[in-house]
Amino acid sequence: MKIKIDDKVKIISGKDKGKAGKVTHVFPEKNKIVVEGVGIAKKHSKPKKQGQKGQIIQMPTPLDASNAMLVCSSCSKPVRSGKKKVGKKNVRVCKKCGGEL
């Protein structure tokens, strides 16, 4: 999986197409990510105590990682990522401008 936590991504398909946000959770075994402010679902909760009201909670749902593209920090466009060896480390690189992600 090429998307990591704290990456900025842009949604390329689905109901939230065109929105951008920061990745908060990653589930590599399911190939899913949770993006801040994208894929919001409403959950109805019952009152916990007597006299308390029930409420509707908005919570982000995981979406497939293939529906999101990384946004390059230097060229600010959605891009594919590649790998480049710098010293002894592998670094993710923007395929458009060559800058580090």
**Is residue 101 situated within a structural domain?**
no
Q: Kindly report the pTM of this predicted structure.
A: 0.81
Is residue 15 within 8 A of residue 7, CB to CB? The reply is no
**Is residue 52 situated within a structural domain?**
no
- The neighbour count for residue 55, using CB atoms within 10 Å, is 10
We report the CATH number of the domain holding residue 83 as 2.30.30.30
| Dist CA 25 CA 31 (whole Å) | 11
Q: H-helix or E-strand containing 85?
A: strand 81-86
Q: Residue 24: which domain range?
A: 8-47+57-94
| Mean pLDDT score of the chain | 92
Total structural domains in the chain? Answer: 1
User: Residue 44: pLDDT above 90?
Assistant: yes
pLDDT in tens, 68-95: 999 998 888 999 999 999 889 999 999 8
Q: What is the average pLDDT across 4-21?
A: 94
Is residue 56 within 8 A of residue 49, CB to CB? The reply is no
Q: What percent of the chain has pLDDT over 70?
A: 100
